[in-house]
Structure 1
Amino acid sequence: MEASSNLNALLRKNPDDVVITMAIRSPLCKAKKGGFRDMRSDELLTEMFKQAINHSGIDPEVIEDICVGTVLPKGPTYEARTAALTAGIPESVPIQTLNRFCSSGLMAVTTIANEIRAGQIDVGLAVGVESMSWNPDVGPEGASDDIKACGPANDALQPMGWTSENVAHEFNVSREDMDDFAAKSFQRAEAADKAGYFAKEIVPFTSYLKDPATGVRKKVTVSKDDGIRYGTTKTTLLKIKSAFPQWLPAHTTGGNASQITDGAAAVLLMTRRKAMELRLRILAKYANAAVTGLAPRIMGIGPTIAIPKVLAKVGLSKNDVDLFEINEAFASMCVYCVRKLELDPEKVNVNGGAIAFGHPLGATGARQIVTGLNELERRRGKVLVTSMCMGTGMGAAAVLLGEFE
């Protein structure tokens, strides 16, 4: 397909471009059961920082700011700062944390990109991380009577499973549609795993697992995702009982929703000028991002608003996009988003998604960039769009342009 004039303009290289020179992730491991189950959240983050330093190709003193996207820790900035120092990042490198639910990893990337674009820094590190083993998601801790009396505000406090059922009901997404989508996610992830595609984006992590007999933790190396269920079919998924029978149409199950998972990802960004000075390989150019709000009761449809918004900002159409990475929070929302935006299913989550290998809340936004760029390079594509919905009724999306120099 011939590139549009707007795409050609975006692909032009300028010294002030914000570029990505490293995009790596941990394996994704089942919470409470997988390879990181006995690892503290600050230990997981420390290991991510160590791996980022090892794979960055730069002295960490060059980093001028770090942004960590994470959702569940009670003291996130304490964890981030102490983990960075423990990993060997100098005291002179500042750090910040942010929480915009499922987009936190993407927002960390966007925050660093905006700082670079504004001229505040030349080099920054974005990290997304979540240990759902160490910090289980317990939901909101309550609300005032005034908030409970406000319909949309009260909706924003409700469980995410309820919002999945609302999307399925309101937009006529059937159980068969959802299980068909979920089966494809597992099958694509299995095929990509067997082909070794993920090995190019995953960096092996040192973890600590307790000996069941002694309770003593021992070091182990974790190098593969452990949530992919080989041999999954629509037929097997249709046999799983509803996870939320109290909410109609009760189509959401443990087989067609994202897995509860531990994991992390890291993205190094800088100006093109700095990357050339440091002689670093450029993977992609950061184009732009967009966020939006919407009715909390159908929060899953966020990508249907955020994706057109970000494409309009950069002057592209969906036909210019080679790959979409849309977070599979629930199959109901993914089925609807693909249908509503009239996307080519062969361009969406081509190596599976969160249904197949998990959704560590703060990590997913960065993880999707890592996975998307890895596959974009394999296909020699040009345009990646990554997107997700977020609890309380929001959506986010970003456009990245592959270079792979």
Structure 2
Amino acid sequence: MKQIQDAYIVAATRTPIGRSHKGFFRNYRPDDLLAQTLKNALAQVPGLDPASIEDIICGCAIPEAQQGLNVARIAAVLAGLPTSVGGITVNRFCASGLSAVQMAADRIRVGEADVMIAAGVESMSMVPMMGNAPSLSPSIFARDGDVGIAYGMGLTAEKVAQQWKVSREAQDAFALASHQKALAAQAAGAFADEITPIEVTDRALNLATGEIALNTRMVSLDEGARPDTSLEGLAKLRTVFAARGSVTAGNSSQTSDGAGALILASESAIQRYGLTPLARFVSFASKGVPPAIMGIGPIEAIPAALRYAGLRQQDIDWYELNEAFAAQSLAVINTLGLDPSKVNPMGGAIALGHPLGATGAIRAATVVHALRRNKLKYGMVTMCVGMGQGAAGIFESV
């Protein structure tokens, strides 16, 4: 039997996150975007032999249409990787990208691989949130306890806000802070380590001449953070999921497009190819919760990931808690007693965006680079997951 070995992250990058439908990636196919992200990750490890990559595991929440047909394998081919490199697409909704990291790490830890790529991609511009033809089994409506699986995410946030007594004012204040932290981090250049700029081409039709003008530009920052956000403006937004609710577009995550990729390696591969480890993958946990209040998932997943790692909550220096909604983020923070100064220090999905299946890989890249930049030891990526789950992964800077 092979001895359990450590899995290290040796490269971590992501695209900027674009607003869906009107943002800079609205016409960028997700398979092409993922292929470019794979190339960008490989560029960070020039000494690595691409033929040594055992497999690519890619998370995608709605793996159909332009991001269907096993987008992981398609992107590997588009990226010019050797045909010997496999690819598999996995789906745990919002935790798909983080699950990809966990699965890649586990292959290394049990000795089945020395080099793996974990990634995530989502185009919410091209593929709608529930897919093109969603179809739920009528059986889930037979029992009251099951019907929550059919709730829209916004409605689950309303139920969390009610049950955990999270006020509209608290949600809006949390949303404002997310934008302010994101803008401050952008101004300080804090995202430069994790983001590889992407070239996009805009097309505009000249009605007078019938010609199509092409404008190519590099994008290097997430475009969701808004400097004009204010408590007054947020307070004016109407609720969109419940008539007497408190959840609005302003205190919810933004629908987005983006991709992220991490390269993981064993210690022997690091020595063989002269690689520099950035972080060690420590532990992962996924837990189920009632679907109607899916936002509380991290309340169960965080303690489990800490237990598996032999760590305490106070040992974590940096939390990337995906801000699906301000209501569920505050419920998690307040229930577990997380230190707010350690949670999303550079803003979260309310300001930066949430490209579903890509978010776990994107936020993992954030944690890996933030730990090194700030000389911190342990970081965590955690999120709630649609239909009632929570996930959490821990990383250690090395």
TM-score range, shorter chain: over 0.9
Give 5+ residue unaligned stretches, structure 2: none
**Separation in 1 of the partners of 2:213 and 2:296?**
45
Distance 1:396 1:215 in 2: 46
Q: How does 1:134-149 map to 2 (within 5 A)?
A: 134-138=126-130, 141-149=134-142
After superposing the two structures, state which structure 1 stretch, 267-276 or 131-140, moved more. Answer: 131-140
Partner of 1:198: 191
- Give the residue type in structure 1 aligned to 2:257: D
Q: What secondary structure sits across from 2:240 in the alignment?
A: coil
> Does residue 1:281 correspond to 2:271, yes or no?
no
1:242 is displaced (CA, Å) by 1.1
**2:81 aligned partner:** 89
The 10-residue stretch of structure 1 (80-89 or 302-311) with the greater mean CA deviation from structure 2: 80-89
SS of structure 2 residue aligned to 1:38: coil
Q: What letter matches 2:63 in structure 1? A: P
Cα separation, 1, equivalents of 2:70 and 2:252? 32
The aligned amino acid for 2:109 is R
Residue number among 353, 366, 369 corresponding to 1:358 in the alignment:
353
Q: How does 1:289-368 map to 2 (within 5 A)?
A: 289-368=284-363
1:223 maps onto 2:223 in alignment: no
2:155·2:242 contact (CA, 8 Å) conserved in 1?
Answer: no
SS at match of 2:282: strand
Q: Classify the secondary structure of the residue corresponding to 2:283.
A: strand
Whether the 8 Å contact between 1:283 and 1:402 is mirrored in structure 2 is yes
Q: Name the structure 2 match of 1:169.
A: 162
Q: Structure 1: which amino acid aligns with 2:23?
A: G
| 1:187 equivalenced with 2:180 (yes/no) | yes
In 1: Cα distance, 2:44 partner to 2:11 partner: 7
Shift of the 15–168 alpha-carbon distance from structure 1 to 2, 3 Å rule, reads closer
Shift of 1:79: 2.8
Contact 1:38/1:210, CA 8 A, preserved across alignment: no
Q: How many angstroms apart in 1 are the aligned matches of 2:157 and 2:70?
A: 34
Q: Percent identity?
A: 42
Q: Which secondary structure state, in structure 2, belongs to the residue aligned with residue 188 of structure 1?
A: helix
Q: Confirm whether residue 256 of structure 1 aligns to residue 248 of structure 2.
A: no
Identify which of 22, 26, 34 aligns with 1:37: 26
Q: In structure 2, what is the equivalent of residue 71 of structure 1?
A: 61
Match for 2:395: what amino acid?
L
Cα deviations by residue, 1:201-248 (Å, 9 ceiling, x for unpaired)? 1001122322243556654322111111014232321222212233x4
Kindly state the Cα deviation for residue 336 of structure 1 after the two structures are TM-superposed. Answer: 0.7
Is residue 2:369 matched to residue 1:396? no
Measured at CA, do residues 302 and 15 of structure 1 come closer, stay the same or move farther in structure 2, by a change above 3 Å? Answer: closer
What's 1:59 paired with? 49
Number of corresponding residues? 388
User: Which residue in 1 is equivalent to 2:104?
Assistant: 112
Q: TM-score, normalised by structure 1?
A: 0.92
Alignment correspondent of 1:124: 116
Q: Which amino acid letter does the alignment assign opposite residue 167 of structure 2?
A: S
Of 91, 94, 103, the residue aligned with 2:95 is 103
Give the deviation of 1:62 after TM superposition: 1.6
Q: CA deviation at 1:19?
A: 0.5
The aligned residue for residue 208 of structure 1 is: 201
Please give the alpha-carbon distance, in whole angstroms, between the structure 2 residues aligned to 1:228 and 1:376: 23
Specify whether residues 73 and 212 from structure 1 end up closer, same or farther in structure 2 by C-alpha distance, changes over 3 A only. farther
Aligned 8 A contact 1:19 1:283 in 2 = yes
What do the CA deviations read for 1:15-73 (whole angstroms, capped 9, x no partner)?
93111011111000101111111112222122212222222322321211110101123
Cα distance in 1, alignment partners of residues 326 and 56 from structure 2: 33
- Answer with 324-333 or 136-145: which moved more: 136-145
Q: Deviations over 1:238-295 (max 9, x none)?
A: 222212233x4x1111111000100000011011221122111111011110000010
RMSD value, Cα: 1.7
Deviates more, 1:350-359 or 1:203-212: 203-212
* Cα separation, 1, equivalents of 2:27 and 2:56: 26
Q: Is the 8 A contact 2:63 2:69 kept in 1?
A: no
Residues 27 and 205 in structure 1, CA contact (< 8 A), matched pair in contact too: yes
